[in-house]
């Protein structure tokens, strides 16, 4: 398991010429911590997550300064396959994450790509399906599931790679109350396993599982004390 993530004096803008979206972000997240990030729409929460997961600059481009380190190693020095195994991201819209013909195939996709043995892949499928509670959907086409069910499949497929860091980018927004509470419980279990969790949240009810809540406002990150967003 990783020991900590450090974001140091991070500046970011999608275009060099425009005013920066992130203006000197500093954040340290320790192993086993749950950090929630709140802020108005467009304040840059997803962008910060994309930087921490390496999606920026590997998949999306932009102008970044500062550093992001995992256990002291800059993200720039980590290969994409290494990062994918370390940091799992669950997005608000699961449709962007699901493309396999069955739930089982979806979950197997990551481990298959890493060439894990068949037996190990089977073990991981059963494990995450039970963990997330989607056994009855195992052989269904993810496209046929409800928004909340798709979200659970996306989470299961991310968990199958056993990442140390999990980023929930408004990932609970499509869940009904029952599913949401189940996932909040699962987040607590993941924390107990030593996973490090970053949650972007609009639903303040979900903040109860967080050890710390941070506010992203005007490009800066600070402790959230319940003030107006």
Ligand X SMILES: Nc1ncnc2c1ncn2[C@@H]1O[C@H](COP(=O)(O)OP(=O)(O)OP(=O)(O)O)[C@@H](O)[C@H]1O
Segment holding 187, helix H or strand E: helix 177-192
Residue 42 lies near ligand X (rule: CB under 6 A) = yes
Least Cβ distance, residue 31 to ligand X (angstroms): 25
Q: Which of 12, 25, 27, 46 binds ligand X (CB under 6 A)?
A: 46
Distances (CA, A) of 194 to 17, 115, 165, 184, 211: 41, 25, 9, 16, 14
DSSP for 73-124, please give it. EEGGGS-HHHHHHHEEEE-S-GGGT--SSSHHHHHHHHHHHTT--HHHHHHH
Around 174, how many Cα atoms within 13 Å sit in the side-chain half-sphere? 20
Least Cβ distance, residue 105 to ligand X (angstroms): 29
Which neighbouring-strand residues pair with 89? 167
User: What is the C-alpha to C-alpha distance for residues 22 and 9, in angstroms, rounded to an integer?
Assistant: 9
Q: Which is closer to ligand X, CB of 43 or CB of 151?
A: 43
Residue 124 lies near ligand X (rule: CB under 6 A) = no
C-beta neighbour count of 117 within 10 angstroms:
9
- Size (the chain), residues: 229
Residue 45 lies near ligand X (rule: CB under 6 A) = yes
Binding window for ligand X (CB under 6 A); candidates: 37-45, 123-131, 142-150, 218-226: 37-45
Q: Which of 5, 20, 44, 156 binds ligand X (CB under 6 A)?
A: 44
Helix, strand, or coil here: 45?
helix
Least Cβ distance, residue 225 to ligand X (angstroms): 19
Q: Which is closer to ligand X, CB of 87 or CB of 128?
A: 87
Mark residues 54-93: x for contact with ligand X by CB under 6 A, - for none.
------x---------------------------------
Binding window for ligand X (CB under 6 A); candidates: 3-11, 45-53, 130-138, 153-161: 45-53
Q: Which is closer to ligand X, CB of 39 or CB of 110?
A: 39
Residue 157 lies near ligand X (rule: CB under 6 A) = no
Distances (CA, A) of 166 to 39, 76, 109: 19, 19, 18
Using CB under 6 A, count the residues that bind ligand X. Answer: 11
Do you find a cis peptide bond into 57, omega within 30 degrees of 0? yes
Residue 39 lies near ligand X (rule: CB under 6 A) = yes
Residues that bind ligand X (CB under 6 A): 14, 21, 39, 41-47, 60
């Amino acid at each position: 398991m990783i020991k900590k993530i450090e974001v140091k004096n991070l500046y970011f803008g999608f275009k060099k010429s425009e005013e920066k979206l992130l203006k000197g972000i500093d954040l340290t997240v320790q192993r086993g911590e749950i950090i929630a990030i709140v802020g108005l729409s467009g304040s840059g929460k997803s962008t910060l997550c994309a930087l921490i997961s390496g999606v920026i600059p590997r998949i999306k481009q932009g102008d970044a300064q500062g550093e992001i380190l995992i256990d002291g190693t800059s993200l720039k020095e980590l290969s994409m396959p290494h990062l994918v195994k370390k940091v799992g991201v669950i997005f608000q819209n699961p449709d962007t994450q699901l493309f396999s013909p069955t739930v089982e195939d979806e979950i197997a996709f990551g481990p298959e790509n890493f060439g894990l043995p068949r037996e190990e892949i089977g073990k991981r499928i059963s494990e995450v399906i039970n963990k997330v509670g989607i056994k009855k959907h195992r052989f269904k086409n993810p496209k046929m599931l409800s928004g909340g069910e798709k979200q659970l499949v996306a989470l299961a497929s991310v968990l199958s790679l056993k990442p140390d860091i999990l980023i929930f980018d408004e990932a609970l927004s499509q869940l009904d109350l029952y599913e949401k509470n189940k996932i909040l419980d699962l987040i607590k279990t993941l924390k107990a396993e030593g996973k490090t969790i970053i949650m972007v949240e609009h639903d303040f009810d979900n903040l109860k599982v967080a050890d710390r809540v941070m506010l992203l406002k005007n490009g800066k990150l600070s402790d959230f004390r319940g003030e107006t967003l």
